[in-house]
Amino acid sequence: MRDQTLELGRVGKQNCGHETLYRRGLIAYPFRQEKKAIRRNKWMGANSKRKRCEIRRLLLYMGNSSPVIIIHQSNSLLVWQNLIFLSSSFSIHSVMEAINIFTCLALFLSLLLLPKVLFMTKTDKQKKKNLPPSPPNSLPILGHLHLIKKPLHQSLAQLSARHGQILLCRFGIRPVLVVSSASLAEECFTTNDLSFANRPKFPSTRLLTYNHTSLGSAPYGPHWRDMRRIATIEVLSGHRLSFFSDVRADEARALAHRLFLDTKNQVDFTRVELRSRLFGLAMNVMMKMMVGKRYYGEESGDDEARRFRELVEESFTLAGASNVGDFLPSMVGWFTRRRVQSRMAHIHNYRDKFMQALVEERRRKINKEEQEKEAGEFAEEDQRNHKTMIDAILSLQRTHPEQYDDSFIKSLVTTLLSAGTDTSSNTIEWAMSLLLNNPEKLEKVREEIDEKVEKGRLLDESDLAKLPYLHSVINETLRLYPVGPLLVPHESLEECKVGGYNIPSGTMLLVNAYAIQRDPAIWPEPTKFLPERFLENSKVEGGKMLPFGMGRRRCPGEGLAMREVGLVLGTLLQCFEWRRIGAEELEMKEGSGLTMPRANPLEALCRPREAMISTLCKL
């Protein structure tokens, strides 16, 4: 028997008792003319007796050789109307095939609609609990992780642009509040400052942070307050920064001297790479203040310095790597974390031994100085001036050995190294990149330096207060390329309200400083490099500028960073002429990492300025 095909297209629907007949005219196949005439009639199946009779006549007339589909009334099945094609041979086998097709398609459609149903259910629950809106397409286990691309701050900025400036996302099993508004950020760090004073704990970083007891990762409480107090008083206070100004000046001069040696014998400009030089400078500054040693430079070629540089490089690489396992359920996340944790365990053990050796060395030196002091061979003033941060904590350790043990010292040193090195070096690299793409701004900074600093004298930190345009260049650089585009993650200690929404306890907070500092509602021409905007309004209110965070967990190293960046950037511009390598502007692509480095290390053309050659020769 020849198979014929009946297509269910845009069907009509008429009630016929408890059943509904769905039908449409045949597609072009060789049927008898009578059947065509009947099938092209209007839809049948009404409550009237005449209509029911016509349906029965149709069934009898068509017989077993033609299909008739009678379906119980169900609105949910209407969606199949453009998909179903059945054989015209009416038999039990064809009916079973139809049922199987309906079942498969129903299952397929259910899977397609499941995320939407879950989202609608979740949205209803959020409205009842007064939670912030959540982006659609959240998946089981993953949540919104599949929507996140690198770099993270840009991906979250795009989500906020589509769905709102306050979002409650789910990164795996972690609820994450994403804030991209200056007013909401200010509310988080003023009204709810205490509520968001905690830090989230990530399993993969447990070892590197000494079981989450380091300054950057410790939960809010007495231990964190004590550690922050020591870091502020012994390293980052105004008094200690002034005392260590010679350290920063020496490193800035050493950088200028090395650049001069690399370029002085060249007739024209010399190609130089800046990232490694700037990172070495920042690392030497921090290590000199904390342990009294420097590990970068020509005179730092011993085995200890080499091991330290290898350790730092691997530590920063590992710290900047993302680990999705931190956001997944423990059993699932373990498989993704185990390789990273193995590497971190190796780095932690190596670093811990290195730092312990430094602590022991300083302990022996202090004991020796005390013996010399008792013998009258060491002046007390010299002892005070030579005191590093480790020395200060070792003196506290004698009276409070349990509170200030060696782990306390090692965790504080590693935290300050991480926070005070590539942050400063990246900012200088971004500033140089922006100035090379805007040579008129570069020349304006140089003219200001030449006007305020005597000819032939190198810039020092006391001159920075007289250089407002240089300060504006640094602020504009931090606005466009903040060292922490999402700040350091916070976590809510308790339930609170932000923007009128309820925020549950244990919610991780990400404040998108990158998006806020490029918000066109706050900053005219937000993507342009315009240092002049900070000359007109030197003090920015509220949460509009957040390069160092806000609130009680604000970065305590702002003073050090501004002094170091100002001194080094000013020295580079005062002593050398700079040009791009090619005629095209430098690519300003952002790389991935905790501190948003340039995607590619900065290379530029450099030569000494004639007015500064004699000064550089004396370094």
555 known ligand binder: yes
Q: What is the DSSP string of 108-134?
A: HHHHHHHHHHHHHHHHHHHHHHTPPP-
Q: 266, 280, 268, 279: which is closest to 581 by C-alpha?
A: 268
DSSP annotation string for 431-480: HHHHHHH-HHHHHHHHHHHHHHS-TTPPP-GGGGGG-HHHHHHHHHHHHH
Residue 501 · residue 127 · CB < 8 Å: no
- For 9, 109, 177, 432, 510, the CA distances from 155, given in Å and listed in that order, are 42, 30, 14, 26, 13
Provide CB contacts within 8 A for 619, sequence distance 6+: 253, 254, 256, 257, 260
CA angle at residue 194 from 508 to 547, to 5 degrees? 65
Q: Confirm if 458 and 571 have CB atoms less than 8 A apart.
A: yes
Length of the chain in residues, anyone?
Answer: 619
Q: What does the alpha-carbon distance between residue 469 and residue 446 come to, in Å, rounded to a whole number? A: 10
Encoded tokens for 249 = 């000046």
- CA-closest candidate to residue 165, choices 141, 191, 143, 184: 184
Cα–Cα dist 534/34, whole Å: 87
HEC string of 303-351 equals HHHHHHHHHHHHHHHHHHCCCHHHHCCHHHHHHHHHHHHHHHHHHHHHH
DSSP three-state, residue 600: coil
> 604 φ, ψ to 5°?
-150, 170
Please report the sign of the dihedral spanned by the C-alpha atoms of residue 70, residue 76, residue 79, residue 80. negative
- Please provide residue 543's backbone torsions phi and psi, each rounded to the nearest 5 degrees: -95, 25
Q: Annotated binding residues, as ranges?
A: 555
Residues belonging to the binding site for heme are: 555
